[in-house]
Amino acid sequence: MRIVGIDLGTTNSLITFCDNENGIKIIPNRLGENLTPSCVSVSETGELYVGEIAKERLVTHPELSVAGFKRYMGTGKIITLGSREFLPEELSSFVVRSLLEDAEVYFGEKVDEAVISVPAYFNDAQRKATKRAGEMSGVNVQRIVNEPTAAAIAYGIEEKANHTKFLILDLGGGTYDVSLLERADAVMEVRGVSGDNFFGGNDFTEELMSMAAEQFGLELKEMSSKDRAILFKNCDEAKKLCGTRPVIPVTAVIGGELRETAIRSEDYERQCKDLLTRLRKPIEKLLHDTKVKIDEIDSVILVGGGTRLSFIKTYISRLVLKFPCFNINPDEVVAIGVGYQAAMKARNKMIKELILIDVCPYTLGTSVSVERGNGEYESGYYLPIIERNTVIPVSRMVAVSTLFDNQREVRVKILQGESRLSQNNIFLGELTVAVPPAPAGQETVEIRYTYDINGILEVIVQVLSTKISKKIVIEQNPGQMSPKEIEDRLTELAALKIHPRDEEMNKLLLARGERLYEENLGEERLYVAQCIETFEKALHTQNRDTIKHAQVVFTQQMDTIIGVRE
């Protein structure tokens, strides 16, 4: 059985296999290169281009070409190229198909089995879309593996490390992942993941673009798509010079006119200060979740082309208090790890078996009502059942009770996310069970979530008094709420009657509380939720003295949570 490993990247993609004599090898593409740009373009006659040609056409035919579509996997976003429309997974399938064709020419036979990598912070909808992309290309996807895990496999096997904690920072073109893994003998355990699916090396390119456009006396939003594509391409190359020389030369032909400027490297680094902060936050979140200190980490691994920038390496070194490893090409390390995983899946005798223990990247829960006093309840609050970074496979159960007298059914919404409010989390599905009419609170329903390593969620809802149960199995999430849908819902809420909670200080305190709720887990998360609910009750009184006192107390409570984290 021939199984290949595919690193389906935002900027570049690679395909690998295990050679019985030389180990993991990267299969060169039709141009003899290891990296195939994740770009797609269509000609005016409908011909499809993938890879380097499509990358060139990004500049010459921007309306017919696209890159960076991996960011939108699983969102349902429609991407228009000329008169044609595509989903991101359809575009990704063209890239996979191109890689497979190169492999089939290399082997002289058909390839129909693959392992594909994804960012660790991809949610279930994005993972399903990635698997679907593989299937649309004609390959059977044996497994989806997290990119940082693949990188750790590549380093861990090479170094034969044992009892080593790896912190993997994967900064690709459009996504950023942070994972903490620990190896002990033949077991590689993912301790936790964090990241940002809408942040990557391209953001650093766009920062240089903005600086260059300003010096050219141009407005980026007023430039044509072709001129922006030209400037992006030139800035993407120019940024690599940062740190190697005091100034970064940027040239571009815009509107038929040659533009030239020189940007000081230190000015560019200063301009990227906020982007560096975005690098730090997921690391802090991960270490907080896993309760691991910086000095307990044995090895820091840099992955992805974005980590090549010298000031990013310097920033990370200072942040983690050690020099990161990048002795394996950061553009290729994930592909090598995926190749190892494919070889293990094929039970290749040359590869030592390695057991992977993964975690659930997002919290899974349901929607409940909370008491507001005087027997009044408010619906729409999130009840976590399986919290993020819980080792999988896992099964968790919670019990809820009826809310009203003679209530005849209980509806369980299945949600994924970190927000305290149900409406801000991703809707996965729902189950409704009938309950016997009885006084409020007397009927109890058990909700059990079971999540396995293949991303399959099973939900069972059982009424204790009748033993009647219903079950739903969600395979990699059939749907999710888009950012626009969330925004529209929040807009609807904003249109409601103005209330003391909308005063500036109250909004600030609530926003701070919501952030701390999302950053914490377990007892700390429960405590934050209780504090927020108490503060909201004070706001509901609309009594200024009560609210003023509550502001002081709530501020002290949140400062305590921050103090615990530090």
Say if residues 36 and 14 touch (Cβ distance below 8 Å).
Answer: yes
Smallest CA-to-CA distance from 82 within 53, 44, 51 is with 44
Q: Is 282 helix (H, G, I), strand (E, B) or coil?
A: helix
Sheet holding 394-401, edge to edge: 394-401, 444-451, 456-463, 469-475
Residue 239 appears among annotated catalytic residues = no
The closest alpha carbon to 425, from 374, 350, 486, belongs to 486
User: How far is Cα 197 from Cα 362, in angstroms, rounded to an integer?
Assistant: 13
* Residue partners of 147: CB distance under 8 A and separation at least 6: 7, 117, 118, 119, 120, 170, 172, 177, 303, 334
Distances, alpha carbon 538 to alpha carbons 149, 399, 525, 526, 544, in Å: 46, 28, 20, 19, 9
Residue 211's contacts (CB-CB under 8 Å, 6 or more residues apart) are 263, 267, 268, 271
Residue burial 247-266, b: 16+ Cβ < 10 Å; e: rest: ebebebebeeeebebebebe
Strand, helix or coil for residue 495: coil
Size (the chain), residues: 566
* Set 102, 170, 331, 387: catalytic member: 170
Task: Reply yes or no on whether 170 is catalytic.
Answer: yes
Run of H or E residues at 245: none
In angstroms, the CA 54 to CA 64 distance is 9
User: Is-catalytic flag, 331?
Assistant: no
CB of 398 within 8 A of CB of 447?
A: yes
Pairing verdict, β 364-373 and 3-7: unpaired
393 and 446 Cβ atoms separated by less than 8 Å: no
In the block, residue with structure tokens 């005016």: 44
Residues near 551 by beta carbon (within 8 Å), at least 6 away in sequence: 505, 506, 509, 535
Q: Which two tokens stand for residue 422?
A: 């149900």
Amino acid 487 reads E
- Please state, in angstroms and rounded to a whole number, the distance separating the CA atoms of residues 182 and 165: 4
Question: Which of the residues 7, 124, 387, 443 is marked catalytic?
Answer: 7
State both tokens at 131.
Answer: 């698997």
Range list of β-strands (E), 72-163:
79-81, 84-86, 113-118, 140-146
Output the six-digit token pair for 496: 């409601």
- Token readout for 24 is 């993991």
Determine whether 7 is an active site residue.
yes
The residue annotated as part of the active site, out of 70, 285, 345, 413, is: 70
Indicate which residue of 102, 147, 289, 519 is catalytic: 147
Q: How far apart are CA 119 and CA 410, in angstroms?
A: 36
Q: Which two tokens stand for residue 438?
A: 């009885």
Angle at 431 between CA 426 and CA 435, to 5 degrees: 140
Which run of H or of E encompasses 104? Answer: helix 88-107
Cα gap 358→362, rounded to integer Å = 12
Residues involved in catalysis: 7, 70, 147, 170
